[in-house]
Amino acid sequence: MNTPFNVKKKRLIVIICKNKCTGCGNCVKACLTGALQIINGKSKLVNERLCDGFGSCIAVCPNNAIKLEYKFAEDFDWSILNSISFDSLMQKLRMGSERLST
């Protein structure tokens, strides 16, 4: 059964603290699905359907400006995974693991 996209369910989604965000863009580069962009000098979740809730962006934020929170949001758009190459996925995952190991 397909659920309409506009139905919101409680799920993990990123929340960005504008006061802590410096707009460095690390989170945008690390986001596996393109859910984040820099707008007016700050990171912003531009499409909640693209937020996978895994938090790869959290690991690369030097200011701890990003957290995961349960909130009502549209379902994740799983079809976005078809457009992500394996090499791109691995490169973005490496970004997070490199920061965590330093």
What is the pTM (predicted TM-score) of this model? 0.80
CB 68 within 8 A of CB 15: yes
In sequence order, what E strands does the chain have?
8-16, 36-39, 42-45, 66-74
pLDDT at 4 over 90: no
C-alpha angle with apex 88: 87 to 93, nearest 5 degrees?
Answer: 100
Q: Are 49 and 76 in contact (CB under 8 A)?
A: yes
Domain boundaries, the chain: 9-101
Query: What is the CATH number that goes with domain 9-101?
Result: 3.30.70.20
pLDDT in tens, 24-69: 999 999 998 999 999 999 999 999 999 999 888 999 999 999 999 9
Q: How sure is the predictor about 1, in pLDDT bands with cuts at 50, 70 and 90?
A: very low
Nearest to 25 by CA among 95, 80, 87: 95
> How far apart, in whole angstroms, are the C-alpha atoms of residue 1 and residue 65?
37
Question: For the residues 15-20, what does the mean pLDDT come to?
Answer: 97
> Per-residue pLDDT tens for 74-97?
999 989 888 888 888 788 778 776
Query: Which burial class, exposed, middle or buried, applies to 90 when counting CB atoms under 10 A from its CB (0-12, 13-18, 19+)?
Result: exposed
